[in-house]
């Protein structure tokens, strides 16, 4: 599975858009990009995933560049409750018995009032 690179920390003002970047320059053609977040002391929470096209759901938008070497998670109107560590992970679809996701250290997002 391809490795990802994320900035260790970011700040965002409450009510503004938070744009979290992720670099995955060695991504393969069949690897999905996933985003999870972990609010302090809680279990990680799935946010969104995509393959090639941009995706949007009730939590966030995912923008994947045309060459798929990087992506951006967008929280359109960040709130204090969005303060969390955000993880970007890339992984090929399930094959055989391999269910492993490689978790890095993520980006610690602080949303400030």
Partner 1 sequence: NAGVTQTPKFQVLKTGQSMTLQCAQDMNHNSMYWYRQDPGMGLRLIYYSASEGTTDKGEVPNGYNVSRLNKREFSLRLESAAPSQTSVYFCASSEQGTGALKLFFGSGTQLSVL
- Applying CB under 8 A, which residues contact partner 1? 32, 34, 36, 41-46, 49, 87, 91, 93-95, 97, 99-106
Toward partner 1, which CB reaches closer, 38 or 72?
Answer: 38
Toward partner 1, which CB reaches closer, 67 or 99?
Answer: 99
Backbone angles phi, psi at 86, to 5 degrees: -110, 130
Shortest gap between Cβ of 103 and partner 1 (angstroms)?
3
Q: Are 73 and 54 in contact (CB under 8 A)?
A: no
Give the pair of three-digit tokens for residue 92: 């090929």
Distance CA 63, CA 6 (A): 15
Give the pair of three-digit tokens for residue 27: 């991504």
Q: Which of 78, 83, 64 has the alpha carbon at shortest distance from 13?
A: 78
Shortest gap between Cβ of 32 and partner 1 (angstroms)?
5
Shortest gap between Cβ of 35 and partner 1 (angstroms)?
11
Toward partner 1, which CB reaches closer, 46 or 76?
Answer: 46
Shortest gap between Cβ of 113 and partner 1 (angstroms)?
26
How do beta strands 45-50 and 55-56 pair? Answer: unpaired
Toward partner 1, which CB reaches closer, 29 or 43?
Answer: 43
């Amino acid at each position: 599975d391809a490795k990802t690179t994320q900035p260790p920390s970011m700040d965002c003002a409450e009510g503004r858009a938070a744009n979290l970047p992720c670099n995955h320059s060695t991504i393969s053609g069949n690897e999905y990009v996933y985003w999870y977040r972990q609010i302090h002391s809680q279990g990680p929470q799935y946010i969104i995933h995509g393959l090639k096209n941009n995706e949007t759901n009730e939590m966030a938008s995912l923008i994947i560049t045309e060459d798929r070497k990087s992506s951006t998670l967008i929280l359109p109107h960040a709130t204090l409750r969005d303060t969390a560590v955000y993880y970007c992970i890339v992984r090929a679809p399930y094959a055989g018995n391999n269910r492993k996701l490689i978790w890095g250290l993520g980006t610690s997002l602080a949303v400030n009032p």
